Structure 1
Amino acid sequence: MSIAPPPSSPKLSASPLPPSPYAGRPRPPRPRTGQGKKAVVIGSGFGGLAAAIRLQTKGYATTLLEMRDKPGGRAYVYEDQGFIFDAGPTIVTVPFLFDELAELVGQPLEKYVTIVPCDPYYRIYFHDGAYFDYVGEQDRLEREIAKFSPEDVRGYRDFLDYSRRIFDRAFTDLADHSFHSVWEMLKVAPDLIKLRADRSVFAQVSKFIKHPKLRQIFTFEPLLIGGNPLRSSSIYSMIHYLEKTWGVHFVMGGTGALVNGLVKMFEEAGGTLKLNHRVEEIEVERGRVVGVRVGDQRFPADLVVSNGDVANTYRKLIKPEHRRKWTDRRLEKMRYAMSLVVIYFGTNRTYPHLPHHSIILGPRYEGLLTDIFDHKIVAEDFSLYLHAPTRTDPSLAPPGCECFYVLSPVPNLAGGQDWEAIKEEYADRILASMEKEYLVPDLRHHLVTKRIFTPADFEGVLDAYQGSAFQFEPVLTQSAWFRPHNISEDVEGLFFVGAGTHPGAGLPGVVSSAKVLEKFI
């Protein structure tokens, strides 16, 4: 192990992206099933944009309604004093999903965006100053493991094989599979039992890897989709193999550039995007959707796709008399994922020793997770994700400056905290904790701009039920068939995409949800 400052990250450049696992498979002609029909998509997050592109290129006259003044949903972009901040997702792990969307409009993805690899994927710092470079190359990764525990290298190889088997079944076969019927779940149940989907990620990894720090390294990834590694199904162990297969990437210009690229695809295909249009009602007649209402303006539709928060779509946009299954009472009983405090900040100096992505783990791991998910308290300690996009794309900040955001997992609003009262003190403690020589020394003396986003903002700005940053907690009993379905059971012609439906949160999940939708239209 080492506590010396790690080396500067290498300069990155565009390189060919790994191919789709479906490459080489014959693709059937794409029928234009929507000729003469109208579709409305609510919300322009990645799920909504992917759904809108797929609908428009299938012949539906598609209108995309976004409640905010910019597209992107949680991938909103903030700008201040020359700093450009991606508000939400910043990690691209399965680039071929965006290639597929570009292909639908007959263009190469490179026309719209430039995607580059990150190396390392993440640098993981521990509270004692030790660090681990999480990389894709097997030899390099095993050398990192051996720094902590040489005897765990063999165990890691066994874990990698397990992660591959989970990936082959859960992602390659099922990511775009519909679980609208219980029979669809029963078909795959034997495989999930065999792969021990009933065990948690942490429990399953611990079978293979013994060193406490390495267990943290190979179990933190469910946190990126709102899950508690101590109880998220071991299905989510596939994230490791997914990242090793396609790598971790960044979009030049920021994630907002990817949003703009998808908007351009949609509009070039003939779709219509309307900003500042908050849907107030999904109109239903005789059990079937007939359109949506924005103020006194109506948008008739043969089908409606919601990329909004699933719980609030049902609770706020569909009258109770049209909901037999997803009643307010049932939605209240669901388990909702954690929330986040996110601090967007810019500095008047650079920190070239930092990588693009850093995971900063605190002194506690299991105890902190229990405080967040079970006790729902704001602990004195925290673990952080630090995003430094100017490490890859300096254009996101003024010359000689650095652009960041740091996020801290915290309880959702069920914890009862008054975030307006505590946010400044909590944010200051986070910034102070990073003022180490190997992280961001003298940070607060070099701040130029700062913005704090709390669980209250997830509820108030993003309309997220209970201020959850990821909608439903990804446990086995809220996955696949047990999750709200892509096809509404209550309203005919209503569909869902995004983090709250199958397959779940994270960019691969929300973009794949639009592929599920397409099978039924």
Structure 2
Amino acid sequence: MKKSIAIIGSGFSSLASACYLAKTGYEVTIYEKNETIGGRARQFKKEGFTFDIGPTWYWMPDVFERFFNDFNKKPSDYYELIKLSPAYQVYFGINDYITIADNLDDIKQTFETIEPESSTKLESFIKEAKSNYEIAIKELVYRPGESALELVTLETAKKVNQFFSTISKDVRSKFKNKRLIQILEFPVLFLGAKPSNTPSFYSFMNYADFGLGTFHPKNGMYSVILAMEELAKELGVKIKTKANVEKIEVENGKASAIIVNGNIVEADIVLSGADYHHSETLLDTKHRAYSEKYWDKKTFAPSSLLFYVGFDKKIKNVEHHSLFFDVDFDIHAQDIYDNPKWPEDPLFYASFPSKTDSNSAPEGKEAGIFLIPLAPGLNDTPELRELYFDKIITRLEKLTQQEIKSSIVFKESFCVNDFIKEYNSYKGNAYGMANTLLQTAFLRPKLRSKKVKGLYFTGQLTVPGPGVPPALISGKLVAQLIEKYS
């Protein structure tokens, strides 16, 4: 008889693990508390506009290809991928912006016009970043974080110094122009920590950016969720929505069942892809591997204030992905990590998917997604949301030299309180636990419970870390561990 596995949550990591486990022969059922699947990668539709609620950047296409290849499929079997050209644009002031092309040669030319001799330095920097990518994404991140020895290879031994320097030091030793420095420090923000706290080895994110490029799945990132759902169902996975898991039952030191909407559901193995901290609160205290003190000491990736806005006209002078770095980056970073508070002048990011994808908005109109990174755990009120929306839209008008406010059809917001309510997110974090040196690989919360047999975890608070590609990998890693130990 097949062993039964109950999976909590239906985000990228849960769906990935479900596919691998079903392929191996387990009887897999996913329990999702919300009405729709996808976890943080859900979709919002209103008045003919469509928005990705969560992730909007599609990087590391090779990781997605590797996932689907494991099932003799390819992404194109399920969705159309569009390479963005340009990849994105960064605003530093009025008529002061840098456009990042979709290939390294053009990016080098852009750098050279801003800082003489920087193109040669950039080529060398990206060559090293590519080498790190080959080691990290093709090897290291596919290890389960059970032992420090997983990191010890001939290749990592040659790069040991990069684990004790930082991205910030590395970039600033090579480039002098402040704008170029900010562009090169930007990709590691996806890992959830300041560039000054992120090891140099993580420059592989720069290769993901400049070397591999930025993509958009037609109809949005939710297309990937739907693809994984289709694959999971093809493999026999059952998916139940509006199924709130209230407790994980333990018998004789082993996970034995979950309580879903008040009903006991027995399972041979329990796997949670929900927020790790929340997942452990579903256990009696004696079965939890990590204390509240442990979580409180950890460096968490930011939360976010997000807005989903419908405009009744096309917005000029912006690209599909637009970054607004016209204020002090370091001060905003301090407000997130060092002295958590609402930032006076926030950096922000805007995505206009309708620049690429006509399905995102009615003809002649524009869909806009705006994101302000924030410290997790901040006080979140409607008044504060309104204040910050006005701040960024006023700046957007000024920087892009157009009137926008009167063209807003509607706006919806999502912030700390919503991350907690919708995803049981610890302190309302948006991206999980940051990948700092002391929170990397075997130093992260474990995929396999240290206290309860048959209990496993997956997702952005465990191995390998924040981001969509790592979530796919996390699902594979935990599936391999389950196969190994059960």
TM-score, shorter chain, exceeding 0.5: yes
Q: Deviations over 1:494-517 (max 9, x none)?
A: 222211111111111111111212
Q: Any idea what SS the aligned residue of 2:138 has? A: helix
Unaligned runs of 5+ in 2: none
Q: Percent identity?
A: 27
Change (3 A) 1:108 1:155: closer
What is the letter of the counterpart of residue 498 of structure 1?
G
Counterpart-to-counterpart distance in 2, 1:210 and 1:53: 47
Counterpart in the other structure of 2:282: 317
Counterpart in the other structure of 2:435: 474
Change (3 A) 1:193 1:48: same
Counterpart in the other structure of 2:229: 263
Q: 255, 271, 277: which one pairs with 2:243?
A: 277
Q: Deviations over 1:343-369 (max 9, x none)?
A: 110100013542211111022122221
Counterpart-to-counterpart distance in 2, 1:518 and 1:417: 38
Counterpart-to-counterpart distance in 1, 2:315 and 2:383: 31
Normalized against structure 1, the TM-score is what?
Answer: 0.88
Counterpart in the other structure of 1:79: 45
Q: Is the 8 A contact 1:158 1:208 kept in 2?
A: no
Q: Is the 8 A contact 1:136 1:243 kept in 2?
A: no
Matched ranges for 1:96-495 at <5 A: 96-185=62-151, 191=157, 194-314=160-280, 316-323=281-288, 325-351=289-315, 353-413=317-377, 416-436=378-398, 438=400, 441-495=402-456
Q: Any idea what SS the aligned residue of 2:125 has? A: helix
Q: Any idea what SS the aligned residue of 2:248 has? A: strand
What is the letter of the counterpart of residue 141 of structure 1?
I
Unaligned runs of 5+ in 1: 1-34
Counterpart-to-counterpart distance in 1, 2:254 and 2:271: 13
Structure in which a larger fraction of residues adopt helix: 2
Q: Any idea what SS the aligned residue of 2:36 has? A: coil
Counterpart in the other structure of 2:56: 90
Counterpart in the other structure of 1:44: 10
| Shift, 1:103, TM fit | 4.0
Counterpart-to-counterpart distance in 2, 1:375 and 1:409: 14
Q: Is the 8 A contact 1:347 1:402 kept in 2?
A: yes
Q: Is the 8 A contact 1:343 1:450 kept in 2?
A: yes
Counterpart in the other structure of 1:26: none
Q: Deviations over 1:150-181 (max 9, x none)?
A: 12222222211221232222222111112112
Counterpart in the other structure of 1:517: 478
Q: Is the 8 A contact 2:135 2:155 kept in 1?
A: no
Q: Deviations over 1:307-355 (max 9, x none)?
A: 11111111x21111112x3122222222222111111101000135422
Q: Is the 8 A contact 2:93 2:399 kept in 1?
A: no
Change (3 A) 1:181 1:492: farther
Q: Does 1:58 align with 2:24?
A: yes
Q: Any idea what SS the aligned residue of 1:321 has? A: helix
Larger mean CA deviation between 96-105 and 356-365 belongs to: 96-105
| Shift, 1:186, TM fit | 5.4
| Shift, 1:271, TM fit | 0.9
Q: Deviations over 1:188-229 (max 9, x none)?
A: 896386242122221121122121111101001122232212
Change (3 A) 1:267 1:369: same
Q: Any idea what SS the aligned residue of 2:271 has? A: strand
